[in-house]
Amino acid sequence: MEPKHMTEKEKMIAGMLYLANEDTLVKDRIDVKEKCYDFNMIRPSQRKEREDKIKTIFGKSGNNPFVESPFNCDYGYNITVGDNFYSNHGLVILDVAPVTIGNTVMMGPNCSILTAGHPIDVQHRNSGEEFGTKIDIGSNVWLGGSVTILPGVTIGDGTVIGAGSVVTKSIPANCIAVGNPCKVLREINDADRAKYRK
């Protein structure tokens, strides 16, 4: 489909430059922010209500999502989470492009998953156009507190990202990665698997 025949929403999801202040997208953002507000106001003891509400925010959700308040996102409908998803307080997902999260993923407090980008050239950036690049997080991944994942990143199954890391490039499966920028420290090994079984 030619870009001139696409809606701004279609361009956004396709990872093309789009105008974020187009009326439909503004409405979509307000709608999901209202849902996030309602979710964040549900009492912690009302676990069933919280689960039901977060499932109305995510585009697709597996079983047993558990998200601590506060949680905020841009659209919600571009977020897919698998079974047994857990996020501690302060998760922010800027889902202008698809965010796919596998099964049994844990996130520490204040994590940020950011698909949104802006042109580096100031004149182009000031035009109001922006873009997004998808993020994929595999199954059995653990993000430590205050991890930031930038556009276009894939994190492989079973990987652990150390607290405070800024993930600028994709990280393979079954490793420990840390730092700013985040780099692989080492593979997860048999000693790690045996450590807590003593």
Q: What is the pLDDT of residues 21-69, one digit of tens each?
A: 999 999 999 999 999 999 999 999 999 999 999 999 999 999 999 999 9
Rg (CA), the chain: 18
Q: What is the DSSP letter of 152?
A: T
Q: Is 102 exposed, middle or buried (0-12, 13-18, 19+ CB in 10 A)?
A: buried
Flag whether the pTM goes above 0.85. Answer: yes
Tens digits of residue pLDDT in 130-184: 999 999 999 999 999 999 999 999 999 999 999 999 999 999 999 999 999 999 9
- Please report the pLDDT score of residue 123 as a whole number: 87
Give the pair of three-digit tokens for residue 41.
Answer: 């106001």
Burial 150-178 (b: 16+ CB within 10 A, else e): bbbbbbbbbbbbbebbebeeebebebbbb
Residue extents of the structural domains in the chain: 3-195
- Is 95 in contact with 79 (CB distance < 8 Å)? yes
- Please report the pLDDT score of residue 194 as a whole number: 82
Taking Cα atoms as reference points, which of 194, 192, 98, 92 lies closest to residue 143? 92
User: What CATH number labels 3-195?
Assistant: 2.160.10.10
Which of 7-16, 37-46, 91-100, 187-196 is least confident? 187-196
Q: Which positions are catalytic? A: 118
Identify the band that residue 198 occupies on the pLDDT scale cut at 50, 70 and 90. low
- Please report the pLDDT score of residue 190 as a whole number: 87
- Please report the pLDDT score of residue 37 as a whole number: 98
